[in-house]
Structure 1
């Protein structure tokens, strides 16, 4: 769907639609973090770029754009923390499965012979 041109006087609606798309992307990440997609495959989202020829962001939409940005930053931080937690859990699982915690293993020598 092509964005309306600013010449049509509908640039506010075009920006509103662009913000809708951003908001849906961040909502998908938030749902994933909440565990709503554990049993489903997630589709990868395309990188966002502002639609062409819609003009500058209208001032009345700035608070909404700022709120979406704050949500994106919070979701990115939560994703990073989840990845760190997953790496720690995988490392712990590897130690449990192998019986190796990375330290020296005790050695017993039989001197009775």
Structure 2
């Protein structure tokens, strides 16, 4: 594989990876996105390309940073959702607010 082809192949692989993380970021930004949205296909690291060209390393690092940030946000939202579900269950069962019950015996 010539030098130009090697760089282009890596650039295309990074394009695909960047598109995946951009899709996740868009889903996180859209609070009302339908929960039925199919998950993105799993990205597979190219095995036939060899080492990443040095000039593409900053771009790859930036994509990794965005991926990690998106993963942290997903984890944060999952925790918040779990807490909200717990509180909702307590409200539905009456556990959240324990109020005294009075019986009118005058009747």
TM-score grouping bracket, smaller chain normalisation:
0.7 to 0.9
Q: Which residue of 1 aligns with 2:90?
A: 95
User: Normalised by the size of structure 2, how large is the TM-score?
Assistant: 0.82
User: Normalised by the size of structure 1, how large is the TM-score?
Assistant: 0.78
Q: How does 1:1-113 map to 2 (within 5 A)?
A: 7-9=1-3, 10-35=5-30, 38-39=33-34, 41-101=36-96
Partners in 2 of 1:66 and 1:41 — Cα distance? 31
Structure having the larger proportion of residues in helix: 2
TM-superposition CA deviations, 1:23-47 (whole Å, max 9, x none)? 1111111111111661473222232
On the 8 A contact 1:31/1:37 being kept in 2, the answer is: no
Give runs of ≥4 in structure 1 deviating > 3 Å: 103-109
Q: What stretches of structure 2 of length at least 5 have no aligned partner? A: none
1:36 to 1:97, Cα distance in 2 relative to 1, 3 A: closer
Q: What stretches of structure 1 of length at least 5 have no aligned partner? A: 1-6
